[in-house]
A and B are shown apart, each in its own frame.
Chain A
Amino acid sequence: MSYFKELWDGIRTTAQGLRLTGGYLTKKGVYTIQYPEETLPIDKVTHRGIHEYDVDRCISCENCAKACPVDCIYIESAPDEKGKPSKGKAAIMTRFDIDYSKCLFCGLCVPPCPSECIQLGERYSLPGHTRDDMVVHFHEGGYPIQEKTEHAKSMIAEFRTENLYEKKRKERADRGIPTLRPAE
């Protein structure tokens, strides 16, 4: 009798499987999303994406580069009157590169920053064809100023009253450093 039992089991399980897949065939919509057009929401508290960096507020202290465990931050600033790299509020950044083929998004660069001009943002898409495409030139601008903490807000207010944003922007333009970010 096991012959007929096997036969029946075969028919029953095949029908069961076809009913299941038939249900998916007639179901409306799909589980996956069409990525470039649609994106999933990100958790703004825990998400660690590509950095946001304010080139005007950076004081070129290099604390972030020192903190970085994989040494993927490269910082250079223009020389001041004495010929040394400019530091502090007057610093003019000529290079602030992060190599995302190395970066592990640990976030250790964020706490040491005295001017709170760097943090991990929400963007995560960085497609490219070469390793050089993985290096983002943050000193060329293009990323929003952060106003997340009270400290950052007060610093921004200070920079605005001293007109430092415009001064630095003009100086960078004189030195031929492109500023991609639109003026505020």
Chain B
Amino acid sequence: MREGLTNLLSGLPQWLQDIALPVLFGLIPAVIIVLGVVTPVGLVGIWGERRIAGKIQDRVGPDRVGISLGPIKSRLFGLGQSVADGVKLLGKEDFIPPGGLGLMFLCAPLVVFAGALALFAALPFGPALWAADPNLGIFYLLSVGALEVLGVLMAGWSSNNKWSLLGAMREVAQVISYEIPMAIAALCPVLLAGSMKMSSIVADQTNGLDLWGLHIAAPEATALGWNLFAAFPFNIIAFVVFYICALAALKRAPFDLPECESELVAGFLTEYSGMRWSLFFLGEYAAMWAMSGIATVLWLGGWTGPLHGFLAGVDVGPIPGGVFFGTLAFVVKTTILFLLMIQIRWTLPRLRLDQVMSLCYKYLIPAAMLCMLASGAAALLASGGAGS
């Protein structure tokens, strides 16, 4: 399709082609990703969070806003709630705190949202279903995921508000600390696959169990090839470490110190209102899903596994079965991790700042390093020892 469009445009003057090609192949797909993937993930995620919170607290949650189109009337379990809230937020005053740094204040939510959005660029949804598959895929994802800190610091600093600044300082201290064990834990699958490319890491998880030099061949459908079971039990620990670090990096409870309501009003969000506030939220939920996706790719086999292994040959209409069931498997696994994040939020109370720090430096970093060491040893044994 790309060649066809390029040929079609070749009749135009060169300067017009220089503008048209990036727009066609860069901007329009980006807009489609925002409108088609990130925004629905955010909206449905917020609704899901509120419903699950309601269920855990033995109440109903939002269940009223549905559709009413003539004879078609349905509450749709309140799925329209996020849309209704969005419309309400559009009508709010776009407040800029006087005495703050205006431009920085306006840009901060965009930086946070862009960071969350960029995560989706290198996320492999299914076989050959990705926007980009760079050689340094996981490196790119971890770096871009850290962009959020910058946005939060900008927001806190420019708000001219002590609560905001305190929240931003906590965020920076927390996220920078948790990036260390996160990156070390993410190195375990990289060592096992011998590659940072997301598609290679997934492909490495299809050929059976590697157990300390002992290779047990098993079909893909048994899911034994997943990195979760490699170098048993160290990659299970690495997965848990990564997941905890993802919670902290996304400032989800119990690590929601940057915005903790009981002490800091709303932390860095205090001065925000309307659409800028909701951009932070959309970004948070999109990043939650993307982080769950990264954990899925690294340890839970990405799109491979029972669903893809058994049903890859069954085509669904024009869509090849491999793509359909692969994507379905990825979405299911990622959504389960996403829902677990929500359950954790409504289960655990918020940690103190010193507890957050000691958890990271005293427990997670040593655990992650141990796992990396074990994964390296397992990879070395699997490849037949040093020098081979």
A17–B348 touching, CB < 8 Å: yes
A21–B346 touching, CB < 8 Å: yes
A18–B55 touching, CB < 8 Å: no
Q: Which of A30-38, A105-113, A115-123, A175-183 contacts B (4 or more CB under 8 A)?
A: A30-38
Q: In the assembly, what is the distance between CA of A16 and CA of B343, in Å? A: 13
A-B contact count (CB 8 A): 38
Given A17-B347, A22-B343, CB of A7 within 8 Å of CB of B58: no
**B residues within 8 A CB of A20?**
347
Given A7-B363, A14-B348, A17-B348, CB of A32 within 8 Å of CB of B343: no
**B residues within 8 A CB of A21?**
56, 343, 346-347
B55–A34 touching, CB < 8 Å: no
Given A7-B363, A25-B52, CB of A32 within 8 Å of CB of B59: yes
Q: In the assembly, what is the distance between CA of A18 and CA of B348, in Å? A: 8
Q: Is chain A's interface secondary structure helix, strand, loop, or mixed overall?
A: helix
- How many chain A residues touch B (CB < 8 A): the figure is 16
A24–B59 touching, CB < 8 Å: no
B12 part of interface (Cβ distance < 8 Å) = no
**B residues within 8 A CB of A22?**
343
**A residues within 8 A CB of B57?**
24
B52–A34 touching, CB < 8 Å: no
Given A7-B363, A25-B52, CB of A18 within 8 Å of CB of B58: no
**A residues within 8 A CB of B265?**
none
Q: In the assembly, what is the distance between CA of A44 and CA of B346, in Å? A: 39
The listed residue with most B CB atoms (<10 A of its CB), out of A7, A20, A22, A24, is A24
Which of A14, A17, A32, A34 makes the CB contact (< 8 A) with B58?
A32
Q: In the assembly, what is the distance between CA of A84 and CA of B77, in Å? A: 62
B54 part of interface (Cβ distance < 8 Å) = yes
Q: In the assembly, what is the distance between CA of A138 and CA of B72, in Å? A: 41
B55–A30 touching, CB < 8 Å: yes
**B residues within 8 A CB of A31?**
58-59
**A residues within 8 A CB of B58?**
24, 27, 30-32
Least CB separation from B358: chain A residue: A6
**A residues within 8 A CB of B347?**
14, 17-18, 20-21
**B residues within 8 A CB of A30?**
54-55, 58-60
**A residues within 8 A CB of B359?**
10
Instruction: Tell me the smallest distance from the CB of A101 to a CB of chain B, in Å.
Output: 29
**A residues within 8 A CB of B344?**
18
Binary CB contact string for chain B from 25 to 59 against chain A (1 if under 8 A, 0 otherwise): 00000000000000000000000000010111111
A32–B60 touching, CB < 8 Å: yes
Instruction: Tell me the smallest distance from the CB of A78 to a CB of chain B, in Å.
Output: 47
**B residues within 8 A CB of A17?**
347-348
**A residues within 8 A CB of B52?**
25
Q: In the assembly, what is the distance between CA of A3 and CA of B52, in Å? A: 34
Least CB separation from B359: chain A residue: A10
Contacting residues of chain A (1-54) with chain B, CB-CB under 8 angstroms: 3, 7, 10, 14, 17-18, 20-22, 24-25, 27, 30-32, 34
Which of A7, A10, A25, A34 makes the CB contact (< 8 A) with B343?
A25
**A residues within 8 A CB of B56?**
21, 24-25
Least CB separation from B54: chain A residue: A30
Q: In the assembly, what is the distance between CA of A7 and CA of B58, in Å? A: 31
Contacting residues of chain B (316-373) with chain A, CB-CB under 8 angstroms: 343-344, 346-348, 359, 362-363
B60–A25 touching, CB < 8 Å: no
Q: In the assembly, what is the distance between CA of A14 and CA of B363, in Å? A: 15
Instruction: Tell me the smallest distance from the CB of A70 to a CB of chain B, in Å.
Output: 35
Q: In the assembly, what is the distance between CA of A25 and CA of B347, in Å? A: 11
A34–B348 touching, CB < 8 Å: no
Can you list 16 A-B contacts with CB-CB less than 8 angstroms, sorted by A residue number? A7-B363, A10-B359, A14-B347, A14-B348, A17-B347, A18-B344, A21-B346, A22-B343, A24-B55, A24-B56, A25-B55, A25-B56, A25-B343, A30-B55, A30-B58, A32-B60
Nearest 3 Cβ contacts at the A-B interface: A31-B58, A17-B347, A32-B59
Given contacts A17-B347, A24-B56, 16 further A-B contacts (CB under 8 A): A3-B362, A7-B363, A10-B363, A14-B347, A21-B56, A21-B343, A21-B347, A22-B343, A24-B57, A27-B58, A30-B54, A30-B55, A30-B59, A30-B60, A31-B59, A32-B58
